Amino acid sequence: MNALFLTTSVTGGIIGCMSQPVRSLITLLALGGSVMIANAQAPKAAPKAAPAAAPAKPPKPGLASCAGKIEGRYAASNGLPYTIEFRSGKASVNVPVMGAQETTCWTTAKKIYLYIPNDADPMEIDINDDGTLQTPFGELKKKGS
């Protein structure tokens, strides 16, 4: 860690160690002080990003991730405030009283399975021929991407 010690021009005493050295330096110089930099080091490189996680394994054979297949926001066609937003193999289910629930999303040809953490059984959703979704909360239509 770099340290910036500020001294007064009259006493030469240390008046502080600042974490915002540029602003402190300007303020001190404007007041006629002097600056001593101790233990100066080159800035460290940012840590490397962790490698991308391997794709998750389907919870049962025959299922594929929803990523790229089911995307966008679906809302109840009857005007009730139920929504599901699908993004990159995940789904956020928003149901009044329960709030938003994050799930992992898996699919087959005509079904979607939403796995809620710590729930044994997934929420099953039928994909209707017209593209709407038949959920336990009623029919949902695509509202946006």
Q: DSSP 3-state assignment of 125?
A: strand
- Answer yes or no: is 29 within a domain: yes
- Answer yes or no: is 45 within a domain: no
Task: Note the pLDDT of residue 102.
Answer: 94
CATH number assigned to the domain comprising residue 118: 2.40.128
Alpha helices (H) in the chain, listed in sequence order: 21-30
**Structural domain count, the chain:** 2
Residue 124 bridge partners (DSSP): 113
- Rounded Cα–Cα distance for residues 58 and 60 (Å): 5
- Rounded Cα–Cα distance for residues 132 and 88 (Å): 19
Task: Note the pLDDT of residue 59.
Answer: 86
- Residuewise pLDDT in 10s, the chain (145 residues): 444 343 444 445 444 433 444 333 333 333 444 444 444 455 555 555 544 444 578 888 899 999 999 999 999 988 889 999 999 999 999 988 888 999 999 999 899 999 998 888 999 999 999 999 999 889 999 997 7
Task: Note the pLDDT of residue 15.
Answer: 43
Distances in Å between the alpha carbon of 5 and those of 21, 26, 87?
9, 13, 50
Domain region containing 13: 3-38
Mean of all residue pLDDT scores within the chain: 74
74 and 34 in a single domain? The answer is: no
pTM over 0.75: no
29 and 71 in a single domain? The answer is: no
Instruction: Evaluate whether 48 touches 117 at the Cβ level (below 8 Å).
Output: no
Tokens representing residue 81 in the block: 């405030």
- Rounded Cα–Cα distance for residues 136 and 125 (Å): 8
| Residue 57 burial (CB count, 10 A) | 7
- Answer yes or no: is 120 within a domain: yes
Q: What's the distance, Cα to Cα, between the start and end of the chain in Å?
A: 46
